[in-house]
Structure 1
Amino acid sequence: MAYKTFLALLLLSYFLSVVSSARHNPSVSTHLISNEDGGPGKNGSIPKNGHVCDPARFKSLGLNMADFAYCDKSLPYEIRVKDLVDRLNLFEKAAQMGDNTSIGVPRIGLPRFSWWSEALHGVSDVGRSTKFEPTIPSATSFPMAVSNEARAMYNEGQAGLTFWSPNINVVRDPRWGRTLETAGEDPFLVGLYAVNYVRGLQDLEGEESNSKDPNARPLKVSACCKHFTAYDVENSLGVSRLEFDAKVHERDMVETFNKPFEMCVKDGDVSSVMCSYNRVNGIPTCADPYLLKKTVRQDWDFHGQHWLDDTVEDASAQVLKAGLDLDCGFSYESLINATMNGLVRESDMDTSLKYLYTVLMRLGFFDGIPSLESLDKKDVCTKENIELATEAAREGIVLLKNEKQTLPLDSSKIKTLALIGPHANATDVMIGNYAGVPCDLVSPLKGFSKFGKVIHEKGCEFVNCTDTKLVSSAANAAKKADATILFMGINLDIEAEWVDRTDILLPNYQTHLVNAVADAANGPVILVIMSAGPIDISFAKINPKIGSIIWAGYPGEQGGRAIADVVFGNYNPGGRLTVTWYEGDYVEKLPMTSMPLRPTINEASKESYPGRTYKFFDGATVYPFGYGLSYTTFEYNHKATTTSLDIKLNKLQHCRALPYKAGSNVDDVHCPSILVDDLTCKDEIAFEITVQNVGEMDGSEVVLVYSVPPKEIDETHFKQLVAFERVFVPAKESKNVKFVLNACKALGIVDVNGYTLLPAGLHKIVVGDNAISIPIKVNYKHE
């Protein structure tokens, strides 16, 4: 599915609007080119829109290109890459395997190459490959990004081809600082996000698949799914990500942490995977051959290279042997001594270099890709791209509260607006981290100024809001206005890479500011929250003076325009939360470093820890996963049916036991479950839902589909997301939405040993908030 098409279907707002932060982005940046881009020179640099295998370039180096088989386009990549690697000596090999040391080899015509580019939500100048210059001084800052701008900047000599995006780690804990970079707490959602992000970044039209040789499929730019795996601690109460040892059960690895990466590799065909900073069960992920070689390359059939995000210099030999191809630092310089001392073989370096250069050949670094050569500065910051950024921000906004239809505001009745709060004039805050130079930043102040006179008061000088000196002037502004909009939340000082949160509350006096302004206001009060992670705003939820609450995430460069469009009804919000908004005391009930998803008992303290994410937490929430309101009302209808899957087993398909809850009546279950790997998994569950808009306003509804396992089974999820679709329905009209689910994927559970099983018994497919429940009976019988 093309990126733009997927964007139109997208449901969950985080995924659409929280887009900024780590080293994982899908679209736009990486410098593979030499530092000098003016044309072939003594250092063998590549001219703008040029490529390695240019006869004129080789001639400028005093070389005959015909003497180098790696530039012979008639040969397969495998042969060409072998010829290239065989020409390198040990010192030259080591010099190509680190981002800081890929210096090129002029004697054979190989130019310098820089691997590190970022495109989390648009082309970013974080990294060593991208630069903004007069030719292209900026790029579109999306809630998400597209690949045309990346390739255009590469063609202009201002970016690279290998982008270290997307970040697809699951949000396990609400305190995680890099929540703003990824797509939420559900592994299926994050995995689907990864697949479409990668496809949107890498795929050339007409070249989406190559069944004969996936390693020959051309790439528009290279994506990188990171960080593999079980990574979601930055610096929690003194525990650094570089030292953290994630103690993870195999069940949680299969069920949650690895699932998005498996989807990224299998369905997205990503060309690179980055390992994480931490250890998993005592072993650094970058040095674990079970994870890198067996799981990613063998089990998932990975076509690409691995990226090292962090390693220790004296472990370079170990991580290379484990399957790590590239170091984004300096550590692989030590491979020379490691090889001479017999710690690693030179042939191990050859293997990694072949993977690396195969990807560069697929990117056209050596030969060019004619269909992409017309992309240039005219394709960056286009009107269409800016409109796409605006639409993505609108779709990502979540309406959390709307008492007595406070919103949308009637622009004909609102002459004066009070915009209050530390984010009322937000600019850079909206684009998060790993950001570049946006085309056109539209702050809330600028966006709302088009709808009437605006009185702007900060209320707090900074986001941390450490005093109340500006509260009275903010309250006075609310008294004078026809409507008051409070822009509150957090920023990258509070949640970011290297910065985990210590609580999930508004900072310091922000709550006091909100209450004081709401009490003073004469007109309707709307609270807008900018954040990635959840915030306990229970006080605002129950305050009758606050009519509406909006969560905007970090909405990109057009955020102010998008929020104003929603507030004044130019757009009917339809976004949904992709993370659970817990009550504030949730973080006091378990340490961030506790990795289990299911409720547990701490062996040392004997304390009970609650479950994590909507799949395993059954306590009170401020707002649940998938929550989001609209200005209209939707109703679901479905013809009541019961689907029965009667699966015949042969003598080689063995029944597996399941843990059942005490007192469950399961005497009639003769075969509790079957290993999914032992099934053909061709059974499908098909159903159609009618979505009716019974309100007065056109709008989009995100239809969420969950599976619920048989109630007798213990130690499994309450429910899990298995499908979703966004559908636009005009007022008083209806639309049918058809779903076809694979039974094994939709109904499977993971047992304590990490096996995926399809249980017998009565499952349910639940649509929406239990609006529709479809029974699915699974029966096994041996032939």
Structure 2
Amino acid sequence: MTKTLDFLLSTYLFLSFLVLSSDAAAAAGGEQTMSHGQCMAQTCPANADLNQSLVIENATPTGSNFTFICDPLRKAQIGIDMSTFAFCDKKLPYPARARDLVGRMTLSEKVTQLGNNATALPRLGLTRYDWWSEALHGMSNVGPGTFFDNLVPIATSFPTVILTTASFNEVLWKSIGEAVSTEARAAYNLARGGLTYWSPTINVVRDPRWGRITETPGEDPLVVGTYAANYVRGLQDIPGTEKTADLNSRPLKVSACCKHYTAYDVDNWQGVQRYSFDAKVTEQDMVETFNRPFEMCVKDGDASSLMCSYNRVNGIPTCADPKLLNETVRGEWNLHGYIVADCDSVEVIVDAHKWMNVTNEEAVGLSLRAGLDLDCGVYYTKYGENATKIGKVEEADIDKSLVNLYVVLMRLGYFDGNPTFNNLGKQDMCTAQHIELATEAARQGIVLLKNDNDTLPLSTSNLRTLAVVGPHGNASEAMIGNYAFDNWKPGRPLNYAPGCVDVQCKDANSIPQAVQAVNGADATILIAGLDLSIEAEGLDRNDLLLPGNQVQLINQVVDASKGPVILVMMCAGGVDINFAKNNTKIKAILWVGYPGEEGGRAIADVVFGKYNPGGRLPITWYQADYINNFPMTSMQLRPVDSQGYPGRTYRFFTGPTVFPFGHGLSYTKFAYQLTPPPPQKSAITIKLNNQQHCRDLEYKNATAKPQCAAMLINELQCKEQIQFDVEVQNVGSKDGDEVILVYSSPPADIAGTHIKQVIGFKRISVPAGKSQKVPFSFNACTSLMIVDVGGSRLLASGVHTITIGDGLASFLIQVNYN
């Protein structure tokens, strides 16, 4: 099925539409199919089913009559003068107003407000509110708080998080959050959505088999936390109010939620279920890896919510652990908001964990006292009243949780309104600007893994025929990913040769059709990979291979091709494609994640050179035999040589990979230079007083141990800065983006530390032949930090290494104590 190129070059459709019409058909005005984004903005068929039960009772279309709880106009509507209630007195601080509201409720009324579907209390003017909405990479109808119908048929679907993270662009991450929250506010005004969104997912990718990698920002804790803080800021921040003195009163555009806390990354692996899994985690790994993104999300992002996970950590369910919730999230991190359970987690404590054989009421009491404010489920509402009456929890604990919840709703304007957003409506859903942002996000995230002989971009001057094959050749739905909407309509079927019925590719009978299709083609684009039938929530992988007969399909197509083959990998987790990497006829490989509604256009832009790729892998792609050394349920990150345990992520794994973390090529070349060149070794000398005491560390070589090995960071002033400029020169012939990754490595003789860790990054655009100077400044304590076996954060003495990129530039820093 080789076709001429004219139609493609004139339209830039989805790659699923890359099957090209002939010159004659194009000249005759052959049918052109609009891209998904254009369809959404203009002619998308709407879902005719209207779920009336989900309409927020008090919401009305945007305008001067927009209703909120304390609106004076409600007196005529419901017969209650809301101004008589102190909780509607704007002169009072939010906590005082919330306490007044809670104080007016009976115990029976209070417990009805503790589930995600909070019921109406007409005598107090409260309408029903569903807390559960989702916005992982755009508004979703997964949660019942949001739905789509004829009035609001659809929302912008951005690339899934793992691909967006590959852009390494903080500005982009925040911009997507801002676009999503604008659409969320518009949907709220139209009574089609809530104000509380349980996103983003910020669990670190520990194991390549995890099914939810598509939702995450990758394997590096700092990168994950930086993504979290920026996306949350995009969702929540109202310009001009970011630095409100009292953060408990800071206005919110919508409320974001950091999830799933913590050490959660086993869904369903060989019979081990997330609902009963007990994660055995060292305090070192908790502080250094699993909790760090959540700490950044709460502290740097000022997230207004956090979600605890299904699993246990060291024997205790996370949603009933006071150390994790009250002591850490509220105490150490100072959360300004509420804590919610992953849906039915309180029930899971009883039925799946069977933790201490607790009763329903005991589970409710333990969770409330631990700091869990809201139950996504029915256990709080069903058993909360009796739990109080039989002494398993105090009513004061319920009051405390309700105050946390109502303060967030007050910050959102649910009680007082927020005129800033009153004019948002249908015209703000899926706008041309948001569609272009989705396209740009996909472009920036796409990673060029291989490009022999500069095969890409494909030149149109000598390319007359092109073949498109592979199970993802028409992957409209797969590109959207999960936590999206279910009324998206894929485009018309196309005349291409998939070679497999689906990505599982169990039947090889269609492979000959794909082989025949590439005969005579000047070039072949082969789209393969995974989808949600292989990697998804509730579904972990058993291997790192392409499923079914996909390898056979690829090899036979490559053997039959006369021209270069471009392999496009659509997947979230890494796949062992060494066979393709080493095949000289496969000239180029692209990783495109699940690129969202405009993914096809973005892929076409990259393939034909309209866009120069600059994305970098946010996870390591391991070889297939990597997972033979340990079960997925082993939580340890560091290697154990005596057990043949290799360690996880680029920070601890030294073995061979298919593609390493941070890998990504370009159509141009870049050179780095530190300006001015720093001395080969700089020194940071910290003078200690007699109240400061050195901490011990284990060394590989005892003779290398200094007199003062390390200091607790919280006992240092930590004013020392590491500052330098990186001049990036584009020495190639094409304009391009470069991601500058900066790493630190600890002194080599310290035992049990990471090999290196990301301490910062920056994406820049540099025209061909030009250069750009990029300044970096790092706090020495934060950037050179190590975590010891007890979970203490330390600044170690000795020689630390700062490395820019893949060793393109580096220098040493000597830390001394005296």
Partner of 1:652: 691
Distance 1:33 1:191, change over 3 A: farther
Partner of 1:185: 219
Is residue 2:576 matched to residue 1:536? yes
Letter of the 1:64 counterpart: D
Q: CA deviation at 1:58?
A: 3.6
Number of residue pairs matched?
730
SS state at 1:154 partner: helix
Partner of 1:419: 468
SS state at 1:740 partner: strand
Is residue 2:662 matched to residue 1:626? yes
- 2:59/2:190 contact within 8 Å kept: no
Partner of 2:153: 137
- 2:54/2:145 contact within 8 Å kept: no
Letter of the 1:136 counterpart: V
Is residue 2:672 matched to residue 1:636? yes
Is residue 2:725 matched to residue 1:688? yes
Distance 1:107 1:32, change over 3 A: farther
Q: CA deviation at 1:64?
A: 1.8
**What whole-Å deviation, never above 9, does each CA across 1:31-73 have from its counterpart, x for those lacking one?**
99984558689xxxx9984211122324432222222111111
Is residue 2:128 matched to residue 1:112? yes
Partner of 1:86: 103
Partner Cα separation in structure 2 for residue 222 and residue 39 of structure 1: 19
Is residue 2:109 matched to residue 1:74? no
- 1:48/1:156 contact within 8 Å kept: no
Partner Cα separation in structure 1 for residue 723 and residue 51 of structure 2: 47
- 1:442/1:560 contact within 8 Å kept: no
Work out which of the residue numbers 399, 408, 416 in structure 1 matches 2:457. 408
Letter of the 2:269 counterpart: S
Work out which of the residue numbers 170, 180, 183 in structure 1 matches 2:204. 170
- 1:442/1:557 contact within 8 Å kept: no
- Structure 2 stretches lacking a partner, 5+ long: 1-49, 160-175, 348-359
Is residue 2:707 matched to residue 1:670? yes
SS state at 2:519 partner: helix
**What whole-Å deviation, never above 9, does each CA across 1:706-765 have from its counterpart, x for those lacking one?**
001111111100000000000111111111111000101100100011111101111010
Q: CA deviation at 1:600?
A: 2.6
Q: CA deviation at 1:246?
A: 0.3
Percent identity, please.
57
Distance 1:36 1:719, change over 3 A: closer
Greater CA drift, 277-286 or 147-156: 147-156
Is residue 2:480 matched to residue 1:480? no
Distance 1:413 1:720, change over 3 A: same
Partner of 1:290: 323
Q: CA deviation at 1:507?
A: 0.3
Partner of 1:97: 114
Partner of 1:450: none
Partner Cα separation in structure 2 for residue 475 and residue 764 of structure 1: 51
* Matching of residues 295-334 of structure 1 within 5 Å: 295-309=328-342, 310-312=345-347, 313-314=360-361, 315-332=363-380, 333-334=382-383
Partner Cα separation in structure 2 for residue 360 and residue 40 of structure 1: 14
SS state at 2:496 partner: strand
Q: CA deviation at 1:476?
A: 1.3
Partner of 1:451: none
**What whole-Å deviation, never above 9, does each CA across 1:299-323 have from its counterpart, x for those lacking one?**
0111000001112244111100000
Is residue 2:651 matched to residue 1:615? yes
Greater CA drift, 480-489 or 255-264: 480-489
Partner of 1:545: 585
Q: CA deviation at 1:470?
A: 1.1
Partner of 1:150: 184
Partner Cα separation in structure 2 for residue 37 and residue 688 of structure 1: 53
Partner Cα separation in structure 2 for residue 564 and residue 140 of structure 1: 20
Aligned Cα RMSD in Å?
1.9
Q: CA deviation at 1:251?
A: 0.2
TM-score by length of structure 2 reads: 0.87
Distance 1:210 1:39, change over 3 A: closer
Partner Cα separation in structure 1 for residue 111 and residue 564 of structure 2: 64
Partner of 2:237: 203
Distance 1:743 1:266, change over 3 A: same
Partner Cα separation in structure 2 for residue 177 and residue 646 of structure 1: 46
Q: CA deviation at 1:634?
A: 0.6
- 1:440/1:558 contact within 8 Å kept: no
Partner of 1:721: 758
SS state at 1:643 partner: strand
Distance 1:40 1:436, change over 3 A: closer
Partner Cα separation in structure 2 for residue 366 and residue 92 of structure 1: 18
Partner Cα separation in structure 1 for residue 53 and residue 567 of structure 2: 49
- 2:59/2:66 contact within 8 Å kept: no
Work out which of the residue numbers 799, 802, 815 in structure 2 matches 1:765. 802
Greater CA drift, 670-679 or 280-289: 670-679
Q: CA deviation at 1:177?
A: 0.6
SS state at 1:644 partner: strand
Partner of 2:483: 434
* Matching of residues 362-511 of structure 1 within 5 Å: 362-436=411-485, 456-511=496-551
* Matching of residues 5-20 of structure 1 within 5 Å: none
Q: CA deviation at 1:585?
A: 0.7
- 1:275/1:286 contact within 8 Å kept: yes
Partner Cα separation in structure 2 for residue 559 and residue 512 of structure 1: 26
Letter of the 1:117 counterpart: S
Is residue 2:384 matched to residue 1:345? no
Distance 1:690 1:414, change over 3 A: same
Distance 1:746 1:285, change over 3 A: same
Where in structure 1 do 4 or more consecutive aligned residues deviate above 3 Å?
A: 31-41, 46-49, 437-443, 663-666
Partner Cα separation in structure 1 for residue 507 and residue 772 of structure 2: 52
SS state at 2:671 partner: strand
**What whole-Å deviation, never above 9, does each CA across 1:365-411 have from its counterpart, x for those lacking one?**
01111111111111111111000000000000000000111100012
- 2:446/2:593 contact within 8 Å kept: yes
Greater CA drift, 55-64 or 316-325: 55-64
Partner Cα separation in structure 2 for residue 157 and residue 713 of structure 1: 58
Partner of 2:355: none
Partner of 2:164: none
Partner Cα separation in structure 1 for residue 508 and residue 386 of structure 2: 61
Q: CA deviation at 1:468?
A: 1.3
**What whole-Å deviation, never above 9, does each CA across 1:451-493 have from its counterpart, x for those lacking one?**
xxxx611100111001211111111111132210011001101
- Structure 1 stretches lacking a partner, 5+ long: 1-30, 447-454
Partner of 2:71: 54
- 1:228/1:261 contact within 8 Å kept: yes
SS state at 2:123 partner: helix
Partner Cα separation in structure 1 for residue 323 and residue 613 of structure 2: 45
Partner of 2:817: 780
Partner Cα separation in structure 1 for residue 555 and residue 240 of structure 2: 56
Q: CA deviation at 1:199?
A: 0.2
Letter of the 1:132 counterpart: F
SS state at 2:346 partner: coil
Work out which of the residue numbers 713, 726, 732 in structure 1 matches 2:769. 732
**What whole-Å deviation, never above 9, does each CA across 1:613-652 have from its counterpart, x for those lacking one?**
0000111100000000001111101114232111111111
Work out which of the residue numbers 727, 741, 756 in structure 1 matches 2:778. 741
SS state at 2:474 partner: coil
- 2:639/2:646 contact within 8 Å kept: yes
Partner Cα separation in structure 2 for residue 340 and residue 651 of structure 1: 55
